[in-house]
Amino acid sequence: MKKFAFIGGGSFGFTRKLVKDILTFPAFCDAEIALMDIDKERLAYIKEACEKIVRAGKYPAKITATTDRVEALKGADGVLCTVLAGDVDVWKYDITIPKKIRS
């Protein structure tokens, strides 16, 4: 069983999509997904959402959640850092810069 640690895993949209993608690979369908976030409320919400993905796909995967980064990283085979520093305004450059290049 592989383990993936999501640091900043409280993002509802981004984390769910990544978890769904990872579990579609046969080599990772039984992975442990360790969600780590400093926001306990968001963490509980995304944990439940990921558990629904596991149930719906009938994956033998395991979802864990913690506010302890060291615990999440322990034994991880892969690490995804999904921390958002600041507000969603930081994303505007992901769109505006490539748009300028294509013009």
Both structure tokens of 87: 């507000």
Contact 6, 33 (CB under 8 A): yes
Name the DSSP letter for residue 88. G
| Domain 3-102: CATH architecture, name and number where available | 3-Layer(aba) Sandwich (3.40)
For 29-77, what is each residue's pLDDT tens digit? 999 999 999 999 999 999 999 999 999 999 999 999 999 999 999 999 9
pLDDT of residue 48: 97
Question: Phi and psi of 62, rounded to 5°?
Answer: -125, 130
Say what the pTM is. 0.82
How far is C-alpha 77 from the geometric centre of its chain's CA atoms? 14
Domain ranges in the chain are: 3-102
pLDDT of residue 99: 78
Give 33's strand partners.
4, 63
pLDDT of residue 38: 93
Q: Which amino acid is at 5?
A: A
